A and B are shown apart, each in its own frame.
Chain A
Amino acid sequence: MVLLTMMAAVVVGIVRLRNLFAVVILSSIYSFLMASVLIVLDAVDVAMTEAAVGAGVSTVLMLAALYLTKTEEAAPRHSPILPMFVAVVIGAALVYGSMDMPPFGAADSPLNTNEGIGYLERSIPETGVPNVVSAVLASYRGYDTLGETVVVFTAGIGVLLLLRRNRRGKAKE
């Protein structure tokens, strides 16, 4: 609860600040808080990813992008009422949807009765890997992880193509 309150405070700060440097640092703090929340929820693998990617590398990339642009955000051109209305409606719908979720860690939830428990029982004898997350990621869901890797590959190639063409165009001029 303390963590969630701090996250809300950080978000308010991000929305209100116009200095992009401070915004980047605040979003890094937000990621660290998110990682702490995930640790509280016992999802250590996800927390590690969040801390490394969200707080570490993406902050550095944002700062690198910031170096190429201005550090002050321009004043908004349109009134913020319509976007705020959309955000509030979607947020309310999400909260309404989460009402029906089983309580966290409930033994009779679909997650803990069908597939999940099967993985927990099968992973040690079949793969000999004590970390079930790794076993599911790499072995049972190998296709999905392959897809993820290809997504990272595609994203990297896409960014490289975009940034490189510009550089070459500049050199010609």
Chain B
Amino acid sequence: MNVTVNGRPREVSAGATVASVVEMLDVAPGARGVAVALDGEVVTRGRWADTELREGCLVEVVAAIQGG
């Protein structure tokens, strides 16, 4: 299944979830200051594990940085 993660095309296995993408990015479980949007909708942390990706979906994984 082809998806886009943070602007880059990625191939993931069928049944991949938001949690598997986060894991793919080397984010430690429970890492602070991380949030995910799937096709422009926020997926709360509690739903990462059971939110499955769809073919062609856009995943944005964001983290805290200095700014403002």
A, B co-complexed:
no
A interface residue numbers (CB < 8 A to B) = none
